[in-house]
Amino acid sequence: MTVLQLIANAMSAALTTGRPAGVPEPKLWSGVALDVEQLPARTLAWTEETTERTSPTSALARRDVTFAVQDVVAGTGAGGSSAQELCEAFRAWSIGALVGSRYLDGAGVPLAIDTVELGTLWEFEQGEVPVCRCTHSFKVTFSTRANDAEQRV
- Per-residue pLDDT, 77: 66
Q: How confident is the model at residue 24 (pLDDT cuts 50, 70, 90)?
A: very high
**H helical segments located in 99-148:** none
> Span 84-104, mean pLDDT?
93
- Per-residue pLDDT, 137: 97
> At residue 79, does pLDDT exceed 80?
no
> At residue 95, does pLDDT exceed 70?
yes
Global pTM reads 0.89
> Span 90-110, mean pLDDT?
92
Overall fold of domain 3-29+37-152: STM4215-like (3.30.2000)
> At residue 14, does pLDDT exceed 90?
yes
Which residues does 137 contact at the CB level (< 8 Å), separation at least 6?
A: 47, 66, 67, 68, 69, 117, 118, 119, 120, 121
What is the spatial distance between Cα 80 and Cα 75, in angstroms, rounded to a whole number?
9
Domain range summary for the chain, segments of one domain joined by +: 3-29+37-152
- Per-residue pLDDT, 31: 81
